[in-house]
Amino acid sequence: MSDSCASVEQAYQLARERYASLGVDTEQALARLATIPISLHCWQGDDVVGFEQSGDELGGGLAVTGNYPGKANTPDELRSDLELAYSLIPGKHRLNLHAIYGEFGSHVPDRNEIDTDHFTGWIDWAKDQQIGLDFNPTYFAHPKANDGLTLAHPDKAIRDFWIEHGIACRKIGAAMGQATGTACVTNSWIPDGYKDTPADRKSPRLRLLDSLDKVFAEKFDPQIHLDAVESKLFGIGSESYVVGSHEFYLGYAITRQTLLCLDAGHFHPTEGIADKFSSVLMHVPEMLLHVSRGVRWDSDHVVTYTDDLQAIALELVRGDYLARTHIGLDYFDASINRIAAWAIGTRNMLKALLMALLEPTEQLIAYEQSGDFTARLALMEEAKVLPFGAVWDYHCLKSEAPVGMAWLNKVKDYEQSTLLSREAECSAASVNA
Ligand SMILES: C[C@H](O)[C@H](O)[C@@H](O)C(=O)CO
Ligand SMILES: [Mn+2]
């Protein structure tokens, strides 16, 4: 055993004893953590461009800023980048694909014509990697979404087009779940809304309700496929009104018993999502989370170890909601190395879950039930500086993932060997064109 491994082990043994003195079993926490998959969002790898090669603007009120070199340009490049990212993260995780990431060949189908054949490359790869897949219809970056309306569009022909897209995507999601043996969550998010004050808030919502019912008409075995719906407060160009608001989708998910997707960046700036879980899960079977970090607006920053993130993890553990929650990430940062962005965000999500699993929750609840709120607050604050970092390092070591900053060296090496030459090839191609 190397010196650094020995010191990780020693620090862990001390931490284990410290936690045991508070009645917390670190081995049990680590065993639980190892079973929690995080769904990595493919779109962090290429700035939400996808493989349609349409050249359409991202639109939909979404924006990616930055031009860090090495963006993935092909499915193989994206898979190679993801393989490196997974190797930097302890545990077995999932991949969340958007519909624009199909392998379309020379004849790129329109969105309403895509089918499972366009995703067999991803399915075969996922089986090979032994990871589950999640999926998303892409209701943006398309000429039929240019006016900011899709499933709620007043033009029936445009609505029907997007309904067909939603139906096609659910079939693809079901095929993914069937092939990988783990349920695929297909999440529906649409950009529909208005920049300025609407005169009629009701009609677009009635149209959206009707469109969604058509999209979700076919029922799938929940063992292979689950539906989620995602709300938003506002986007660029939909500042005054979003058809799929939180209230709209909460009601929809409850009445249709779909999953509700809560995106941490989709609420008022000081409104956290953690407080919502205990209410939402009284009424819907399961939740999907898009863990993100809003900065002033829905700017989709890389997930950092914030109070909000800790609140999410603590609530999932305290409420015993992990088995009913699918955790996905949702951010897009092109200003830093994109693989590092996946590694940082996913490792932080896992660190927050570990910290929550190590919390002396039973003791806190006992204090609360006895009315000793002073002791509750005192222990909560002391728990924040317990040696959870030593447990995390040990988890990385045992999971054969890099400990501490070691993962960054691997990213830097890959940047030199692969990402920079990728960029050079691109420049040469554009010079030759
Ligand atoms: C690309 C995703 O579908 C998108 O980020 C969506 O989930 C969202 O959060 C839009 O703001
Ligand atoms: Mn989202």
pLDDT at 378 over 90: yes
Say how far apart CA 72 and CA 423 lie, in whole Å. 9
* Domain CATH for 246: 3.20.20.150
Q: Supply the pLDDT for residue 56.
A: 82
3-state helix, strand, coil in the chain (%, to 5): 50, 10, 35
378 found inside a domain: no
What distance in angstroms lies between residue 116's CA and the mean position of ligand 1's atoms? Answer: 22
Is the pLDDT at 423 greater than 70? The verdict is no
60: left (phi over 0), alpha (psi -120 to 50) or beta: left
The number of the ligand 1 atom at minimal distance from the alpha carbon of 191 is 10
Active site residues: 189, 230, 232, 263, 266, 290, 298, 300, 330
Closest-lying ligand 1 atom to the alpha carbon of residue 61: 11
Residues 6+ apart with CB under 8 A from 332: 41, 43, 44, 47, 48, 62, 64, 300
The average confidence (pLDDT) of the chain is: 96
Instruction: Tell me the Ramachandran region of residue 47: left when phi exceeds 0, alpha when psi lies from -120 to 50, beta otherwise.
Output: left
What is the per-residue DSSP string for 157-221?
HHHHHHHHHHHHHHHHHHHHHHHHTSPEEEEE----EESS--S-SHHHHHHHHHHHHHHT-S---
- pLDDT class for 425, splitting at 50, 70, 90? low
DSSP H or E run through 393: helix 388-398
- Ligand 1 centroid vs 300 CA: distance in angstroms? 9
Binding site, by residue number, is 266, 298, 300
Position 431 confidence tier, pLDDT thresholds 50, 70, 90: very low
Q: Domain count of the chain?
A: 1
Each residue's pLDDT tens digit, 96-108: 999 999 999 999 9
Specify if 385 maps to a domain.
no
What is the extent of the structural domain holding 172?
37-357
Q: How far apart are CA 56 and CA 108, in angstroms?
A: 13
| Spatial CA neighbour of 41 closest among 103, 6, 93 | 93
> In the structure, what pLDDT confidence band is assigned to residue 176 with cuts at 50, 70 and 90?
very high
**Which residue numbers belong to the known binding site for Mn(2+)?**
266, 298, 300
Share of the chain above pLDDT 90, in %: 93
How many of the other CB atoms lie within 10 Å of CB of 61?
20
> Long-range contacts made by residues 403-406, C-beta under 8 angstroms, separation at least 24?
403/4, 403/8
For residue 284, tell me if it sits in a domain: yes
User: Is pLDDT at 369 greater than 50 in this prediction?
Assistant: yes
Tell me, yes or no, whether 159 lies in a domain: yes
CB 224: neighbour CB atoms within 10 A?
Answer: 18
Average pLDDT value for residue range 358-381: 98
pLDDT of residue 429: 42
Span 56-67, pLDDT tens digits:
888 888 889 999
Identify the CA nearest to 341 among candidates 84, 97, 73, 126.
84
Answer left, alpha or beta for residue 105, where phi above 0 means left and psi between -120 and 50 means alpha. Answer: left
The span from the CA of 180 to the CA of 130, in Å, is 8
Task: Establish if 369 belongs to a structural domain.
Answer: no
Query: Which positions ≥6 away from 76 have C-beta within 8 Å?
Result: none
Whose C-alpha lies nearest to ligand 1, atom 5? Answer: 330
Is 310 a member of any domain? yes
pLDDT digits (tens, 9 = 90+) for 233-248: 999 999 999 999 999 9
**Element holding 299 (H helix, E strand):** strand 297-301
pLDDT at 137 over 70: yes
Q: At residue 426, does pLDDT exceed 60?
A: no
User: Domain for residue 300, yes or no?
Assistant: yes
pLDDT in tens, 310-332: 999 999 999 999 999 999 999 99
Instruction: Record the tokens describing residue 146, joined without a space.
Output: 């240019």
pLDDT 10s digits, 2-49: 878 999 999 999 999 999 999 999 999 999 999 999 999 999 999 999
Segment 268-325, tens digit of pLDDT: 999 999 999 999 999 999 999 999 999 988 788 999 999 999 999 999 999 999 999 9
Residue 286 counted as domain residue: yes
Smallest-distance ligand from the CA of 99: 1
ipTM above 0.90, yes or no: yes
| 168 CA from centroid of ligand 1 (Å) | 19
| pLDDT for the residue numbered 432 | 35
CA 68 – CA 253 distance, rounded (Å): 38
- Residues with beta carbon inside 6 Å of ligand 1? 43, 48, 62, 136, 189, 230, 232, 263, 290, 298, 330
What does the alpha-carbon distance between residue 412 and residue 56 come to, in Å, rounded to a whole number?
A: 32
Ligand nearest to the CA of 235: 1
Start-to-end Cα distance in the chain: 54
Residue with the smallest CA separation from ligand 1 atom 7 is: 189
